[in-house]
Amino acid sequence: MDISPLQKVRYAYQPKLPAILRESITNVVPQKGEATTAQSDADQIKALFPNTYGLPRITFTKGENGEITQKRNVGVILSGGQAPGGHNVISGLFDGLKAANPENTLFGFKGGPSGILEDSYRIIDSEYLAAYRNTGGFDIIGSGRTKLETTEQFEVCAQVCKKHDIDALVIIGGDDSNTNAAVLAEYFLSKNHGIQVIGCPKTIDGDLKNESIEISFGFDTATKTYSELIGNIERDANSAKKYWHFIKLMGRSASHIALECALETQPNICLISEEVEANAQSLSSIVDYIAQAVAKRAEDKNNFGVVLIPEGLVEFVPEVKALIAEINDLLAHEEAAFAALDSSAEKIAFVQQRLSAASKQAFESLPTEIKSQLLADRDPHGNVQVSRIETDKLLAAMVETQLKAMKAAGSYKGKFSSLTHFFGYEGRCAFPTNFDADYCYSLGYNAFMLIAGGLSGYLSSVTNLSKPAQEWNAGGIPITMMMNMEVRHGENKPVIKKALVELDGKPFKYFAKNRETWARETCYTYPGAVQYFGPSEVCDLTTVTLALEQSK
């Protein structure tokens, strides 16, 4: 099979490890730190996880570890959406496993969690793995979104593991996947199955983080990929000088991606969902904010600009959030009558007549195309699929309408022409940056060290990430310390708490300090393509977010 020159060279790249993990594997031991508590709802979490709650933090240090060489079989699962670097987590896990004992075996369960339920796997050996090292994607074994959440499923997992003498499972996933890992670990311990479970923190959204998980893997690569594209568009906008570009970026529940891309590219406007919610900003106020920025730039003869929009913005706008909830409830109760309608116009009229006065007003303010999307795109539970709402087109259309009104009133004299974009899948499987290649490899190698330490219910943790890899710290934290109780499908359930953008954090404060200047002036920065070769300050550069968070 033909491969690109870059791909060939990346196969040979040797990821960097923290100093402690560069030691001979028999000279590294786990060291227990202080006991931990849950993010909140501690009593409830403790009651649900009696075997894995309150476990200590783990760091690795030098020491004799002869037991690490004992024979082990380990299973690995990729869960949820893709994120750059997943193949390197598996590579690090494999190399740690084989360094301890060449007879150790790695089972890759195919297609996500369903692979272990169906006993569908392949043995990952060095020859097979060679074609995936330092590459993007999850195609080495595939991923899936099946949830491991019932006792019956847990017991199937246990029996499949026992069938193959598998001692431990590594689940590579986001907040929901690692919540499932915590529940599975608790079940195995309660039943004395003798099977360990370790999680690895994945999601390009960046919302799986705390002081011990400084960044979720894939975030670095995805934001650099998007920022290259945004920088290209900024350069084009500044060249053509006739378009306003509205760019929607992946990240439904949190605005970390949008904020990081703004810090990297300095667009004219970047909306932050968490700020919109905190200030209870209406849709009309958001539109007015953008329209006023357009008008001010027009005064300087700059009839162009760039606006960044988080994917989940509409869920944070109070009246739209209420509208969506009302539509979901309405269509759940009148599903048959609604389904019998043929045309989009009939469906819009049907819903409009049945909404409360406030929601009706919000609905009527929306373009017809967006109204149709609110009514047409339902998930399996009958709810609006918010990620499919074209917020970029919604805002562009509403800003245009506002500007026409301003022009009629004499408060705007510029020209406005818009283009819309959505950057999502372009970043999920990109070639990992050197940072993600190193970080993910370290997470995988570290996961094996947690297994070798006899631990279960832990999340692989590598910290001090704004420093060179040599100075990174390796260890683990109990998954239960990241959990709280939330209502899911009408029931109170334990879940890992999503980390949203902190409005009092250094990254947002830096953005807020500079955004007025960026809005009026053309301050674009152009990150360019991801660099793999050259000075470390260019090739191993971490995110602006992480650099600001860890700045003194």
Distances from the Cα of 535 to the Cαs of 103, 222, 434, in angstroms?
39, 21, 12
Active site residue 175: no
Q: Which two tokens stand for residue 174?
A: 């986001």
> Is 506:550 a contact under the CB 8 Å cutoff?
no
User: What φ, ψ does residue 385 adopt, rounded to 5°?
Assistant: -90, 90
What does 228-267 look like in DSSP terms, one character per residue?
Answer: HHHHHHHHHHHHH---EEEEEES-SS--HHHHHHHHHH--
| Single-letter amino acid, residue 287 | V
> Is 58:77 a contact under the CB 8 Å cutoff?
no
User: Using the 8-state DSSP alphabet, how is residue 484 labeled?
Assistant: E
| Single-letter amino acid, residue 316 | F
Angle at 128 between CA 125 and CA 129, to 5 degrees: 80
Burial-class residue 71 by CB neighbours within 10 Å (0-12, 13-18, 19+). Answer: exposed
Tell me which H or E stretch contains 448: helix 434-452
Return d(Cα 90, Cα 177) in angstroms, integer: 16
Return d(Cα 51, Cα 190) in angstroms, integer: 7
Active-site residue, selected from the candidate residues 167, 205, 207, 438: 205
> Is 97:70 a contact under the CB 8 Å cutoff?
no
Which residues are annotated as catalytic? 205
